[in-house]
Amino acid sequence: MALYDQIIHDIYIKIQDKTLMPGDMLPTELELCKQYNVSRPTVRTAMIKLVNDGHLTRVKGKGTFVTSPKLMQESTQFIESYNEEMISKGLTPLTVVLELKTCPCPEHVYTKLNIPLGTKLIKLQRLRYARPNNEEKPVVLTTVYVPYELAPFLLDYDFEAFSLYNVLERNGIFISNVVRELEIKTLYGKTANLLMVKEGSPAHFISSVGYNSKGTAIEYSESYYPGNLNKFVIKISR
């Protein structure tokens, strides 16, 4: 095993057994050189690899810190509410509603819902958190569009307390099939500000259309998951 791999392994084990906790600052490169009795380029190579793998983060002028573990998302596989998914992981979900209003169907949405351009929609935009994970930063920004005629009752609900799918089911609308597309996008402007990341940061972008058993599109959503806080598992069976 190369010397830098030995350093990587040692630091990784310390993170796993919680000797090093999220937010802890690592010793300087010179201190690590003395600790492991290696050259500075060897330490630097190990640090770069740990940063690139998401275990450490460098803050200019301050030092190198242990990051919070990425939140494993399984929404590419299952149809379930965000709250249910977070609770199943032992985390406490928190939702902040940014918008709940009616609006004309945007140009990029009408083909997804197979409705005329300008059709009246309900727009629901939410920031989602997963406590105590990720230092209270939002883990996803989601915007959902639902045809107003299908579900005008949505305007009467508090979506900081209720999940969209549960509310739909309470009112006799069931999502039985979902088609999702996963891309990598770069965050800028308002989206970057809301997710508390730097401009130009990468994010997993998932667009999703939910259908009922008759094949009618009920909802279209767009979700941004900051790349530094999330990873996805995709399971394939034969």
Domain definitions of the chain by residue range: 3-66, 71-232
- The number of CA neighbours under 13 Å toward the Cβ of 144 is 21
Greatest mean pLDDT among 49-58, 98-107, 174-183, 223-232: 98-107
Tens digit of each residue's pLDDT (9 = 90 or more) over 217-227: 999 999 999 88
If one compares 55 and 179, the residue with the highest pLDDT of the two is 179
Weakest-pLDDT range from 54-68, 86-100, 103-117: 86-100
> What's the pLDDT score for residue 34?
92
Instruction: Inform me whether the pLDDT recorded for 128 exceeds 50.
Output: yes
CATH class of 71-232: alpha beta
Tens digit of each residue's pLDDT (9 = 90 or more) over 174-210: 998 988 888 888 998 999 999 998 888 899 899 999 9
pLDDT band at 80 (very low <50, low <70, confident <90, very high): very low
Per CATH, 3-66 and 71-232 having the same topology is answered no
Asked whether the beta carbons of 219 and 175 are under 8 A apart, the reply is: yes
Asked whether the beta carbons of 200 and 186 are under 8 A apart, the reply is: yes
Percent of the chain clearing pLDDT 90 (strictly above): 42
Do the bridges between strand 63-66 and strand 56-59 make them parallel or antiparallel, or are there none, so unpaired? antiparallel
> What's the pLDDT score for residue 56?
86
CA 221 and chain centroid, separation: 14
> What's the pLDDT score for residue 170?
94
Q: Please give the angle made by the CA atoms of 218, 106 and 83, to the nearest 5 degrees.
A: 45
- Measured CA to CA, the distance from residue 38 to residue 225 in angstroms comes to 38
- Measured CA to CA, the distance from residue 147 to residue 155 in angstroms comes to 12
- Architecture category of domain 3-66 in CATH: Orthogonal Bundle (1.10)
* Element at 50 (helix H, strand E): helix 40-52
> What's the pLDDT score for residue 132?
57
